[in-house]
Amino acid sequence: MTTPRAGQIAERLTAYAEELRAAGAIRTDPVQAAFASVPRHRFLPHFRYRAGDYTLDTTSEPPGEVLDIVYANNALLTHTGGDGNPTSSSSAPSIMAKMLEALELRPGLRTLEIGAGTGYNAALVHHITGAPVVTVEFGRHTATEAATALRALGLHEGVRVIHSDGYLGYPDGAPYDRIIVTCGIAGIPPGWLDQLAPDALIIASVAHAGVHPILAISYHGYHGSGALEGRALLWGDFMPAAGPLRPAGLFHHDPARDIPTTDARHVPDAGPVLDHSQYHDLWCYLGTRDTRITRAYPDTDAFDLTLGACALLDPDAGTAWIHTDGTMTTTGNPEIGDQLATLVQRWDITGRPRVGDWTMQWRDPNPAGLLLPHRWRLRHR
């Protein structure tokens, strides 16, 4: 392996930010400047990418082939969960950039982040705002590593890492103008509202149909007295939060539990042929129309997983998957496939609404103590 020449990191950062802007993930100069300035590799003492495991000396420049991985649009696994700590990762930079753009950051805005991960995202936020950032991390080892990386870059006074459960937020740093959530949650804790400044904005990955699309949630009120308004931004998925932010009891299916498919049937021409973006649009629609829609995986090679794992799952009747090539796979009662096919047809007839066409309301706290999205409605296009 070769060591990069002096100044290569700066060149990499500039090119990396320019590529994200050319791809449409970055839209504004402040966000581009942040990605061109904050060195991602300094937050990655170790990570896994595909079949490789990498350990970096973050005080020196990594080999060029490692930089190729780090400064590309790659999500990197940083904690596998095998050591008793929660799984954690550094998200794909394009998703990070889109969320930061949606956050509408500007100088002086105080920000609370739920899910510190490596600390890289919080450093980007601080670069844009120049204001205090509090980032809360449930995993002890992950929180320690994030704090270490921020201190090594001299950012520890601007970005504070809290090892805690994100459900409570962090009242000592309030009020916050922005909250960004970088782990999959089920809903919004009412206690967060007490920590928000008037007209605050939350960008969060919230559970819907077995995944975690990214929602923009506006808050109009003061000290917990006000209303939330939500709209879908883009399709996405994040590692589920640990603890009360995403209680398992709220979900009828855990995607980690494979579905028996010994009686799987293949149904041709069950729906339209779709690209991945259209498939996500369909998936979002299906989730607004039937609470049984989820992500599900077969326990055999009943179908190619790259064709999509969006399923209508009824524990008492069976499971039906719709795929990007227009085919369907079903188990159990064939009627479950008919039900899914009808929903797919309705999406097509409705004009194939996109992920970003939806708004939602937020119901009062349920026994889980979370404000949950409901009454998904289409905006006028």
Give 287-297 pLDDT, tens digit per residue: 999 999 999 99
Q: If you search the block for the tokens 């006028």, which residue do you land on?
A: 380
Pairing of strands 88-90, 358-363: unpaired
What burial class does residue 153 get, using C-beta atoms within 10 Å of its C-beta: 0-12 exposed, 13-18 middle, 19+ buried?
middle
Angle between helix axes 93-102 and 8-22 (nearest 10 degrees) is: 60
- The number of helix segments (H) and strand segments (E) in the chain equals 9, 18
91: annotated active-site residue: yes
Report the alpha-carbon distance of residue 66 to residue 144 in Å, rounded: 23
Percent of the chain whose predicted confidence (pLDDT) is above 90: 85
Q: What is the pLDDT of residue 169?
A: 97
Do residues 114 and 185 touch, judged by C-beta distance below 8 A? Answer: yes
Q: What is the pLDDT of residue 219?
A: 87
Q: What is the pLDDT of residue 40?
A: 97
- Spot the catalytic one: 88, 89, 90, 91: 91
Tally of CA atoms within 13 A in the half-sphere of 211 that contains its CB: 24
- What's the pTM value of the predicted model, to 2 decimals? 0.93
Do residues 217 and 188 touch, judged by C-beta distance below 8 A? Answer: yes
User: Which of these, 221, 209, 202, lies nearest to 114 by C-alpha position?
Assistant: 202
pLDDT digits (tens, 9 = 90+) for 51-96: 999 999 888 889 999 999 999 999 999 988 766 678 889 999 999 9
- Residue 224 confidence class, pLDDT cut points 50, 70, 90: low
Report the alpha-carbon distance of residue 81 to residue 262 in Å, rounded: 31
Residues near 196 by beta carbon (within 8 Å), at least 6 away in sequence: 174, 175, 176, 177, 179, 202, 219, 221
Percent of the chain whose predicted confidence (pLDDT) is above 70: 96
Q: What is the pLDDT of residue 85?
A: 73
The answer, yes or no, to whether residue 1 has pLDDT greater than 50, is: no
Report the alpha-carbon distance of residue 224 to residue 221 in Å, rounded: 7
- Residue 162 confidence class, pLDDT cut points 50, 70, 90: very high
pLDDT digits (tens, 9 = 90+) for 95-141: 999 999 999 999 999 999 999 999 999 999 999 999 999 999 999 99
The answer, yes or no, to whether residue 315 has pLDDT greater than 60, is: yes
Backbone dihedral region for residue 210 (phi beyond 0: left; psi -120 to 50: alpha; all else: beta): left
Mean per-residue pLDDT, 238-248: 91
Residue ranges and CATH numbers for the domains of the chain are 8-246 (3.40.50.150), 265-349 (3.30.310)
Q: What is the pLDDT of residue 202?
A: 98
∠ CA 85-89-91, rounded to 5°: 155
pLDDT digits (tens, 9 = 90+) for 22-57: 999 999 999 999 999 999 999 999 999 999 999 998
